[in-house]
Amino acid sequence: MIQDIAPYRFRNEFRDTQDVVMHATDPVFAFENRTVLCRQNEDGTYSFPAVRELLDGGTDTDLLLYLFAEERGAERRNYYLYRSHDTQESLAVQGYTYTNISAFRSAGPKNDWFACMSAFHLFCWYKDTRFCGRCGSRMEYYHKERAMICRKCGNIVYPRLNPAVIVGVTKGDSILLTRYAGRAYGGNALVAGFTEIGETLEQTVAREVMEETGIHVKNIRYYGSQPWGLASDILMGFYCDAQDGEDILMDENELAAAKFVRREELGEENRNVSLTADMIMNFKEKGRLVFR
């Protein structure tokens, strides 16, 4: 999946920007809504502006915020965020344009795409946490950990993580595939939804399947998880069985399609990207063995 970036290692432990040695080749992420400043290369991959290109253009490095790093052996690359959420101004770098972040789903290198998703997650949180939700004062960067602090009332706010489930509902040798209603993404999907207050993950699985398709489920089994920075999510995947004798009653506000598809009829999904695709391909290959 997208977070599997070996031989690179994702190093997301907090370090204060002023304590990090900035290199001229370190990449910088600059976001504008759901677009990121980048350049498409001749091989179809994308690259992001480096610190030296910002300096050549006269950008103040004080507007760069350290996010995280990637390591490969003794090699380390730091990633920075241009603080457009503070300046309210877009960054312009010659040769680069703003491109929708969804363009990177099928374009490598995978480690850069994962870094972009993670940076977007933090960008959204910083943008939404400029003011204190308790007293309304301006928030400041906390220099002890990844958080924002209100110096007036002492409120400390940490990055937002939305727990959500992805559900592979099976019936014999078939799996329930869906398509979202009213979303730009039109590919195959599985039943999915966010965990509510007071729910276990298993209860979320049962509720979401029932709400979206009218099906009761049993034999709920955990499969795996994935960070998904595009929606500030931590996704948790489960397989479960549909109860016998129930028909699909699709919620048309949530879904455009929902049907059980036999293993041999499943197409190819890019499991290198998403947990959803990985779960579909896993069922295609193993069938009922996914429960073992």
- State pTM to two decimals: 0.91
Q: How far is 167 from 133, CA to CA, in rounded Å?
A: 34
Task: Using pLDDT thresholds of 50, 70 and 90, give the confidence band for residue 182.
Answer: confident
DSSP β-bridge partners for residue 237: 166, 224
Alpha carbon 116 to its chain centroid, in Å, reads 9
What does the DSSP 8-state code read for residue 241?
A: E
CB-CB contact of 147 with 261 (8 Å):
no
The per-residue pLDDT for 43 is: 83
Q: How far is 196 from 219, CA to CA, in rounded Å?
A: 21
Round the average pLDDT of the chain to a whole number and report it: 92
Q: Given a cut of 80, is residue 107 above it in pLDDT?
A: no
CA dihedral for 119, 122, 127, 130, sign (positive or negative):
negative
Task: Using pLDDT thresholds of 50, 70 and 90, give the confidence band for residue 245.
Answer: confident
DSSP β-bridge partners for residue 25: none
Instruction: Summarize pLDDT for 219-233 with one digit per residue, the tens.
Output: 999 999 999 998 999
Q: Residue 24 has which token pair?
A: 């001229």
Instruction: Summarize pLDDT for 20-43 with one digit per residue, the tens.
Output: 999 999 999 999 999 999 998 888
**Residue 83, burial from CB neighbour count under 10 angstroms (0-12, 13-18, 19+):** buried
Cis peptide bond upstream of 49, omega within 30: no
CB-CB contact of 29 with 96 (8 Å):
no
Q: How far is 225 from 233, CA to CA, in rounded Å?
A: 10
CA dihedral defined by 217, 222, 226, 228, rounded to 10 degrees? 20
Q: Which CA distances in Å does 172 have to 88, 141, 209?
A: 54, 52, 17
Q: Which CA distances in Å does 1 have to 106, 214, 226, 228, 286?
A: 12, 30, 8, 11, 18
Q: Residue 1 has which token pair?
A: 């999946």
Count how many Cα atoms sit within 13 Å of the Cα of residue 51 in the half-sphere of its side chain: 17
Q: How far is 105 from 96, CA to CA, in rounded Å?
A: 19
